[in-house]
Structure 1
Amino acid sequence: MPLPLSVIDFATVRQGTSIGESFAESVRLAQHAERLGYRRVWYSEHHNMPTIASSAPAVLIAHVAAHTSTIRLGSGGVMLPNHSPLVVAEQFGTLAELHPGRIDLGLGRAPGTDMRTVRAMRRDPSAAEQFPQDVRELQGYLSGRSVVPGVSAVPGAGTNVPLTILGSSLFGAQLAAAYGLPYAFASHFAPDALVDAVAVYRARFQPSEQLAEPYVIAAANVIAADTADDAAAQLKTARRERVRAMVGRGRELSEAELDMVMDSPAGQQILHMLHWSVAGTGDEVRDYLERFAETADADELMVAPASPAADQVLRSMALLAEAWAPEGAPDLPPAAPRL
C-alpha cells in the first residue's frame, strides 16, 4: 500500500486576485483533494505576509469543512505561543463538535511572522519557552482533564482532538517523542535537519494514550504536469515568486531587481529552503516522493503544491493521485493551460 498523501494549503493570494478569491480557491482545492483520496488538508498560521491568507486557521478550517464532507482538516500549524491554550482548545473543540472525526490540531512554537508583527500581536517573545507546558495544558483541556483547577474548555473538553507537533529542528522531535505525539517535519521550507530529527524522534518515542507507535509526516514541494518541460517552467516561475515574496515583503521588485536577488546570497538561501522539491510528470513526481519517503523515514507525505496558478495546482494534485494509486484515481480534469 502506498503511503497516505496529504496537502498543506497556504491560501495563497496570487497576483491580481483578492483574498476572498484565495479562500474560494482553498475550498476548491479541499474538495478536489477529497475526491482524489488525499487524507487531509492543513492550513498554516502566518501573519503580515501579503501572499499568504491563512493567518486564522480555525476560521478557515470552519469554512472549508462546511463545503466538504469527509476529508480531514487541520492546522499545520497553530503557533501556540501566539495564543492561550484555553482559547485554542475552545476553537478546535468547536470545530470538532461541528465536524466530528475530521479535525486535526498541529502545533508549532515559532511566531509565524517577523518581530514587528510579534509586538503588534502583543506576544511575549519569551512565550516559546513555555511551549512544552502549553501543550500539556492544551491536552488537559481537550481530554476533559484540565490541569488548571476550576477551568474547563467549553466546547473542547472530551473532544480529544488529535495533536501533532510540528518542527524543523531537534527540539520538536524530542518533545513529540516525549509526549507520544505524531511529528510533522517542515521539510518543504526547512530541509536541513530532516533526517536527524526523525531519527531522534523514532529513537526516543514514548507511547501515549493518543499514539502507540511513532508517526512521521514529512513535507515536500510538488509540481506535477503533463510534460516535464511544463513542470520545469512552472518550477522556474515558482522559485522566482518565492524569492520575490520573501525579499520584497510587500515592495514590488522589477524583473531586473529580482534577477540580481536570485543570484545573491540572500536569494540562494531562500532557494535552499526549497531543497526538497520535485517538478515533473506524475510518474516522475511519484518516483521522487517514494525516494523522499525512504530518506525521511516517513509514514505520510504532506504535499505543498508549488504550481504558480490555481488550475495548475489542481491538475498537479490529480496527476500525482493517479500516479500514486492508479487503481483508485478518478477521471482527471482537463490539463491546465501551459505557461
Structure 2
Amino acid sequence: MRYSALDLAPVPEGSDAATAIANSVALAQKAERWGYHRYWLAEHHNMPGIASAATSVLIGHIANATQTMRVGAGGIMLPNHAPLTIAEQFGTLATIHPNRIDLGLGRAPGGDMAVARALRRGLEADRFPDDVVELINYLGDARPDAPVAAHPGQGTHVPIWILGSSLYGAQLAAHLGLPYAFASHFAPDALDEALQIYRDRFQPSAQLEQPYFMLAANVFAADTDAEGAYLRTSMQQAFARLRTGQPSKLPAPVDDIEAAIGPDMTRAVNQALRVSAVGSKASVRSALTALKDRYAPDEMILTGQIHDAEARQKSFGIAAEVLTDMSAVEVA
C-alpha cells in the first residue's frame, strides 16, 4: 500500500505565508526521503491559515525542490476555473516535470459565496461532470477536429483524480473510470457507502483498468499519546473556528481543548475528525492498521495541521516508519 502526504501549507499564529511555504518545501523534501509516494496541495481561498490558494504555483515550487516524488493537487476546485486554464497550467507543470504531476479535482468552491463572487463564479447549473470530461480531452491526445487545444497540455495525459466526501463524487469517479480520493480526514460520514458505490460501479477507462481508492487520514504522531493529543488541539481549534465562520491562522496547541472551544463543539469536531491516528508510534500504528483492515485502500494520504514545523515533520516521519513497517509485514 502506497502512502502519501496532503499539505495545506498551514500558517501558524505568530508566523506568515512565506515561512509556511518554506516549511512546506522542507517537509516535502523529507517526505520524499521517507518514501511518501506523492505530495498534494489543496486549493482554499480567503483563509489566513492556509497558504496554498495559488495551488498550481505552489505545486511547481515543491516539484522544483524535489526529485522523484509525485506532486499534485488534492485538489483543484474545478468550478472556480475554466477547464482550459487548468489544462494549460497542469500541462505546463507536466512538461517541466514529466511523469510527476497529479491533478485531483473537487466540486466545492474552496470558500464561501463571497469567495465565489470574487473568483467571478456564476450561479449557473452544475457543470462539473462536463468540465471534467473537457479537461480530460484537453490533456489527452491531439484531436484534429477540436477547435481549441491546450498548449502545453495536449498529450501530457496528466492523471486526473476525483476527490469527494459524498456519493456524488464516488458515482462520477466510477462512471468515468478515474481514481477516487475520499475526504475522510474531515467529512467521513458517507465513507463506507461511497466506497462501496465506487467499487461496485467502476467502469474501466483509458486511464484506469480497475478501481483505485485513496483514503485520507489525519496523523498527529509524537513520542507519547499525550503529546500527540496536545498537537491535535491546533487542528481542533482551527476546525471549530471555521465552523463558526471565523477562520484564522493555525492556533497554538492548548492543554484543555474543551475549555478552549467548549464541550459541545469538541464533540462535533471530534466526530468530523474521527478518521485520525493520534499519539505514540504504537497508537498510530494501531489506528492506521485498523483503517487499512476496514477499508483496504490502495493508498493512504496523510495530513495533519500541526502548529510547530519541527513537530509536524516529526509526525510525518513517525507515520512513514509505521506505514513502511506495515508494508513490510504485508509483503512477508
Give the TM-score of the pair, scaled to structure 1. 0.89
Q: 1:264 to 1:327 in 2, by over 3 A?
A: closer
C-alpha displacement of 1:290: 1.6
CA offsets per residue over residues 25-81 of structure 1, 9 Å max, x none?
A: 110111010000000010111000110111111000011111110110000000001
More divergent stretch after superposition (301-310 vs 71-80) = 301-310
Aligned to 1:191: 188
1:305 aligns to what? 304
Larger mean Cα displacement after TM superposition, 145-154 or 210-219: 145-154
Higher relative contact order, chain-length normalized (CA < 8 Å, sep 6+): 2
2:263 corresponding residue in structure 1: 263
1:318 counterpart letter in structure 2: G
Identify the match of residue 139 of structure 1 among 136, 139, 142: 136
| 1:143-158 pair list within 5 angstroms | 143-145=140-142, 149-158=146-155
Q: Distance in 1 between matches of 2:261 and 2:290?
A: 32
Which residue number in structure 2 is paired with residue 18 of structure 1? 16
CA drift at 1:269: 3.1
Structure 2 distance, partners of 1:251, 1:28, is 20
Displacement over 6 Å in runs of 4+: 255-258
* Structure-1 separation of matches of 2:144 and 2:222: 50
Q: 2:290: which partner in 1?
A: 291
User: In the alignment, residue 263 of structure 2 is paired with which amino acid?
Assistant: D
Match of 2:231 in 1: 234
Q: 1:84 corresponds to which residue?
A: 82
Alpha-carbon offset, residue 306 of structure 1: 3.5
The structural deviation recorded for 1:285 is: 0.8
Aligned mate of 1:35, from 33, 36, 43 = 33
2:131 alignment partner AA: D
Q: Distance in 2 between matches of 1:36 and 1:126?
A: 44
CA contact (8 A) 1:8 1:303 kept: yes
The offset of 1:146, in angstroms, is: 5.3
- Alignment map for 1:137-216 (pairs within 5 Å): 137-145=134-142, 149-216=146-213
AA aligned opposite 1:20 = A
What secondary structure does 2:24 align onto?
helix
Q: What is the CA RMSD across the aligned residues, in angstroms?
A: 2.4
Alpha-carbon distance, 1:206 to partner: 0.4
Q: Residue type of the partner of 1:300?
A: E
Distance in 1 (CA, whole Å) between partners of 2:243 and 2:51 is: 15
Cα distance between partner residues in 2 of 1:286 and 1:43: 25
Q: TM-score, normalising length from structure 2?
A: 0.91
Q: Give the number of equivalent residue pairs.
A: 324
Residue among 70, 73, 82 paired with 1:72 = 70
Q: Deviations over 1:88-131 (max 9, x none)?
A: 0000000000000100000011001011111111101335x100
2:5 is matched with: 7
- Gaps spanning 5+ residues in structure 1: where? 330-339
Q: Do the aligned partners of 1:85 and 1:138 also contact (CA within 8 Å) in 2?
A: yes
- SS at 1:74's partner residue? strand
Secondary structure of the structure 1 residue equivalent to 2:162:
strand
